[in-house]
Amino acid sequence: MDAPNPASASASIGPFAGLPETSLCLLVDDLASPRRVLLGLKKRGLGEGKIVGVGGHVEPGESHVEAVAREVGEEICVDLPHDALHQRARLEFEFPHRPEWRMASTVFMAALPAGAQPRETAEIAPRWFDLRCLPLDRMWDDNRVWLGRVLGGERLNAWFIFGADNQTVQQRHVQSLGAAH
């Protein structure tokens, strides 16, 4: 992993405490100079119908790296070596009107391994998107703030508070940690 990293996987960066832990992977065509990112249509669960990154909850006793590698395998049938994952962001989400949705997420980037063929599963229908035209209108609102920055090589910590509609970011804070090495 690149150092220094965004906040450690269990350290709170915002005014929240005790958030459930998740990990997210942004798979790109070329880590050094990405042109496309693999996202997917969420087919069930939280975010159903939205375009999302691949990831999910960290299981007890599992590291964030182990969790995201497992989730990528389960959701799009791609095996990722742990050393291919590069931590890029720490995000925290508060949903005052749906507290069961609150979470913290550690975001990783990785190049799709040579020969890997992402496949649709019951959870995700994967699709490549050009970085110049990300489907932000079909994603969670917070992505407008951080996704392009992280894909552009910036490391950051950020927190978001969603409004009563559980769709719109009402408050946010972003701390840039500089460029990834």
Tens digits of residue pLDDT in 135-161: 999 999 999 999 999 999 999 999 999
Q: Which helix (H) or strand (E) holds 109?
A: strand 103-111
- Confidence band (pLDDT; 50, 70, 90) for 6? low
Q: 110, 151 in Cβ contact below 8 A?
A: no
Q: Residue 86: which of 105, 100, 106, 70 has the closest Cα?
A: 106
What percent of the chain is predicted at pLDDT more than 70? 91
Q: Is the pLDDT of residue 1 over 90?
A: no
- What whole-number distance in Å separates Cα of residue 154 and Cα of residue 147? 10
User: Measured between alpha carbons, how far is 144 from 160 in angstroms, rounded to an integer?
Assistant: 12
For residue range 110-141, list pLDDT tens digits in order: 999 999 999 999 999 999 999 999 999 999 99
Question: Would you say residue 2 has pLDDT above 50?
Answer: no
Q: What is the pLDDT of residue 130?
A: 96
CA distance 152 to 14: 23
What pLDDT is recorded for position 14?
Answer: 66
Q: Do 173 and 92 touch, CB atoms closer than 8 A?
A: no
Instruction: Indicate whether this model's pTM tops 0.75.
Output: yes
Cα distance between residue 14 and residue 103, in whole Å: 12
pLDDT in tens, 15-56: 677 899 999 999 999 988 889 999 999 999 889 999 999 999
